[in-house]
Every structure is written in structure tokens, then in C-alpha cells.
Structure 1
């Protein structure tokens, strides 16, 4: 790979406006040189506003642009496999949004294609690069709460109103692979994998209680990490309020944090309490993007790969398969 990683974005929608697009421009050794959207006028507008040299309305044209040596697929999951395979065949490094694909089988196909083409495959589980979650990992690894015994996750949201407008793609299973569980819980399941290792056996239920959309709106699970730690989780998207809480319980204390907020707290057996504040960067994907760029330039390893992300897709498949 050359000294400068020159990115092209397929699908320059909302997620690329602040979270990722500017991060590709600001990371050291990284440039954003082309964007693509099926609506050419929107692609041109994005390129103009973000000072990107070229824009396209065809993915093939962007992928085969000789100035592009890494492709970021920022479309809904229904298109991740297609574009990842196309980029791999062109010999370009691949970065896809999360969840990695529509299901675990597609993830495996993407991994095999990239490995056969000898190109890296990364996934936008960007919490693996954020300072707050790396502080959590350091606390756990240092034994701050002793030996980990149990993990509990509760995520609640109120029901999104059906306001007569078009149903968001995240609530269309043919585009997203599921509902908000797939979109949001994937972040929690992935960061738990990062903090505590891979999950093994998973059991649970997925139901649609509100009947407002065609997707699951409540998922519960119990699971076992390969390490022997046990976990349980509940994700309810038709509740009375919003809540975002993960609790990791150990032999000496408890570590509590949110997936989407910025809180981090430790309670110890002796009554001691520690509260931490670790701010997120302005462009939240930038730390992970920097790790990817560094690896592509021959320095270090990125912690979010196709293989790590596929584990999260396998867990979600296990939990929602019977529903669909």
C-alpha cells in the first residue's frame, strides 16, 4: 500500500457527514478523493461541500478509479456484500459500515473474497478505537473489579411514531437485515466481544409487540462468553423511556457504562466509587480510521476486522432467526 491511503466512499449519506467522511480527510496519511451516490446531484453536492475532488453515480466507476486505493461502503447493509466483493476483486482495501452484512453467511463470503484477493477488510465498529472504551478495557484487564462474573445490558427506547412518512430503511428488514436491534445492539454486542472476548452459546427471544413495523421491537438473551463469563441482555424499542446501561459485575466491584452516552462508573466492594469522564472526538470514527490507515501503511493492527465483526453478526442471527 502507498504512503497515502486514498479513499472513495460508496453511499455518501448521513453517516458520512460528520462521523466518518471528515475523519477520512483528517486522519494522518489519509485522503478522501472520491464519493459515489446513485443520485448524482447528491453526490456532486457532497463533493462540493466537503471539497472532494471527484464524484460518481456508479459504484463501479468509483471502485475502478485508479486514484482510489481503499473503498468505504457506507450504504445500508443490503448492499455491503455486493460492493465489498467488487472492491476486493479490484484489489482495493475494504471498510464497510456496521452491521457488516445482512447475515453471518454474507460476512463469511466477504471475508473469503477479501482473503483470496489479499486485501484487508475492516468494519465500522468504531467504539474499538474510542478512548473511553479503551479505558474500560484497561480497567478490566488491570483487575479493577476483580474477576468478571456477569454482564447485564438494558437498552430501552420509546416507540418511533408511524407518522405517515416513508418507513426509515433501518426498519425495513430487506435493507437492514432486521430492526433497531440489528442497528443498535450490534454496537453493544461488538464492544462486549472486544472487552471480554468472543461469545459462545446464545439463547433468546425476538418478538414484535407493537405491530407498528415489520421488524422485531423486543429482544432478550442469555449467553456465555468463551471465557466462562455469563451475560444477559434486553433491548426494547417500545418502552416508556430511554435507557442505555451495561453493567460488568466482578468479584471486587461493578463497572457501569453506556454504549451511546459518555458515562463510566466503578463501584467497589468497600463502598468506593470512581466516576470517569472521557470525551468523544468531534468525528467519532476518526480514531478507528487512524488505526486502519496506520495498518495499511504498515504500522500496527486495527482491532475491528471482518472476522471480529462476523462474530457479532453470528450472535444476532442466532437471536432473530426464528422471528424472521
Structure 2
């Protein structure tokens, strides 16, 4: 027996999808499919094959090859923007000026000029959301690190380390502004603002570089970034975060393996000049369950933090609340990238990080 679907009796966000490449379709579009608060009204990509595939996926009979066509014909009230990093700031600005909420895959800005232009537009349209996809903030494991370091059993964090390695890039600047930008945002999220950087560079060719940067936080804590475009995305250790306090350390390896080693259970004074005798505490381990993918919370889009901010994007539009990383967060991360770039080009000279 055939049944008709009931008429939708609640508001949903009319969503347009700009960018239908591999990352968009395999990650972000997957997440959109789980969110009932979205009604996808149009897709856009200059590549007809990719646009057609995305249109079929969401039950659409049409697709668009330009954002102008999408805005005019599909009339979205919000857009998920996932294109080339160099195009995203201008497109985001155009969409906001057209009165559309925008969720932008990082980075949202690539230069100071981008930042100032978008700042003015956001100021002119205060009712609109301009969010940047710092998805690691919403990852279950990164959030657990945050819970641990903010808990009374951890103490005051005094050291932060972040390692990121990926493949060759067209420009070394892209390693900082596009790849490592997540690490800069996580440093701010976990430790507060960075005030000063001193960085060194080994560059075999443009886009093939190792970068080591020492940083000092406003809190007085210290830290280090090791950033490489001469590694492998799939290699163990491609991403690593570590936070330390007094005899307390939490690490997160490759976004998946969390280890928390707390203070020793017991310790006694040493009768030598070496370290004290200690009875170590039991370490806590946490790994995601990717074997039971029937539940959304066990799927990689949720474990890696893509699903949750998109759900918040829809809910914030409907409710008028504001919970997502903003343009200012994107600018703050860019300022860290800029200071590291300037310092390493100037032989490691310590530089202050511009404040937002």
C-alpha cells in the first residue's frame, strides 16, 4: 500500500550547497543528510558532473554552475560553502551581502584584506551568521581533552604542543593558513590567546617545508608547533596534541587515541640528586568506536566533529542563538599563521601576534 508523506508542519532552513568536490560530498554533505532542520534547495559547482551527482543525492531535478544562479533560482536562506580557500573569502562576502547566512569550511579568510572586507560586511548585516568550520572544537575527543584540562584534577596548563603533517602544497603559506589553521584554533580554545611566536623554517622547495614555532601564551604558558608539508596524511603521528600541567599530561594522537596520565598516587623525597620516587597513577585511554557505524554518533562525521556544528548552524538560524566559531575566530587563527610566517622568514625573530 502506498502512503503519502505528511505535509511539513515545522520550519526548516532552506540550504544551498556551493562546492561539490570530494571533501564536500564525502564529509560535509554526508552530515547534512542527517539534519532534519535543513531543506536542501539547490547545489552549485562549475563541474557539471559533480553538481549533477550532488543534485541527485538530495532529490533535486536541477543544479547550478554559478552562485548567482543558485541565489536567484533556488533562493536559499543559508549556504554551506566548501570551495578553494582562495575563493572562499570573496564568495562568503558576496553571499552575506545578498542576505544569506554562511557556513564556510576553513579558512574563512586568507589575508588581512579579506578580514577587513568581511568584518565590514558582517557589521553591516548583524542578523546574519558568518561561521567558520573549526570542526575539531566539536570532536568528542578534543572536547574530552578540554573537559580534562579544565577539571580540578588537572591543574593549570603550562605547556601545549601541536604537530601537524600533510603532503606537499602549492605554497608554503597554505601549510599555515589552510592546513595548520586547526592547530592554531585549538591552541586558543585550550590555552587562551597566543601573544608571541618565534619560528624557524626548512624549505626544500615552495610548498615543501618543515616549520618549528615556539609560542608564549597570555596566561604565561609556553608551547610549540611542528608543522610539515613533507609528511603523509595517512601516517601515524600526522596529528598530535599534548597539554601538560604539574605532573599531569593529556595527549591526543591522530584525533583518535586519547591518553590521560594524572599525578602519581604516591611520592617520596629522593636521597639523591635525581627525581623523586613515585608510584604512578593508572593512565586513562579513550578510542572511538568506528565498528558500529549504524549509530550516527559512531560515524566519522560525528567523531571528527563535522555533524555537530552543522546541526548548530541550522538550530541557530531557527532560534536566533549564536554558538559557532565566528569570523573573529578565523581572523585570530590567521593572525597566528601570519606571525609565524613573518618570524620564520626573518630568521626566528620573536614577533607579537596581532590581537582581534
TM superposition score normalised by structure 2: 0.78
Larger displacement relative to structure 2 (72-81 or 24-33): 24-33
Q: Offset of 1:300 from its aligned partner?
A: 4.4
- Confirm whether residue 142 of structure 1 aligns to residue 163 of structure 2: no
Question: Against the structure 1 CA distance between its residues 33 and 283, is the aligned structure 2 distance closer, same or farther, given a 3 Å change threshold?
Answer: farther
Of structures 1 and 2, the one with the larger relative CO (CA 8 A, separation 6+) is 1
Whether contact under 8 Å (2:132, 2:324) holds in the other structure is no
> SS of the residue aligned with 1:191?
helix
* 1:187-266 aligned within 5 A: 187-209=182-204, 211=205, 214-238=206-230, 242-243=236-237, 244-258=239-253, 260-266=254-260
Q: Offset of 1:255 from its aligned partner?
A: 0.7
Question: Against the structure 1 CA distance between its residues 206 and 105, is the aligned structure 2 distance closer, same or farther, given a 3 Å change threshold?
Answer: farther
Whether contact under 8 Å (1:178, 1:216) holds in the other structure is no
Whether contact under 8 Å (1:218, 1:235) holds in the other structure is yes
Question: Against the structure 1 CA distance between its residues 239 and 11, is the aligned structure 2 distance closer, same or farther, given a 3 Å change threshold?
Answer: closer
Alignment partners' CA distance in 2, 1:287 and 1:264: 20
Q: Offset of 1:93 from its aligned partner?
A: 0.4
Whether contact under 8 Å (1:148, 1:248) holds in the other structure is yes
Larger displacement relative to structure 2 (119-128 or 238-247): 238-247
Name 2:44's counterpart in structure 1.
36
Alignment partners' CA distance in 2, 1:281 and 1:11: 23
> Over the residues paired in the alignment, what is the CA RMSD in angstroms?
2.4
TM superposition score normalised by structure 1: 0.85
Q: Offset of 1:107 from its aligned partner?
A: 2.6
Q: Offset of 1:67 from its aligned partner?
A: 3.3
Q: Offset of 1:53 from its aligned partner?
A: 5.0
Name 1:267's counterpart in structure 2.
261
Alignment partners' CA distance in 2, 1:25 and 1:242: 30
Question: Against the structure 1 CA distance between its residues 187 and 5, is the aligned structure 2 distance closer, same or farther, given a 3 Å change threshold?
Answer: same
Question: Against the structure 1 CA distance between its residues 4 and 255, is the aligned structure 2 distance closer, same or farther, given a 3 Å change threshold?
Answer: same
Question: Against the structure 1 CA distance between its residues 138 and 242, is the aligned structure 2 distance closer, same or farther, given a 3 Å change threshold?
Answer: closer
Q: Offset of 1:130 from its aligned partner?
A: 1.9
Among residues 70, 77, 85, which one is paired with 2:85 in the alignment? 77
Question: Against the structure 1 CA distance between its residues 145 and 53, is the aligned structure 2 distance closer, same or farther, given a 3 Å change threshold?
Answer: farther
- Confirm whether residue 288 of structure 1 aligns to residue 309 of structure 2: yes
> SS of the residue aligned with 1:26?
coil
Name 2:105's counterpart in structure 1.
97
> SS of the residue aligned with 1:246?
strand
Residue correspondences, number:
305
Question: Against the structure 1 CA distance between its residues 132 and 102, is the aligned structure 2 distance closer, same or farther, given a 3 Å change threshold?
Answer: same
Whether contact under 8 Å (1:253, 1:267) holds in the other structure is yes
Alignment partners' CA distance in 2, 1:92 and 1:206: 41
Whether contact under 8 Å (2:109, 2:330) holds in the other structure is no
Whether contact under 8 Å (1:121, 1:305) holds in the other structure is yes
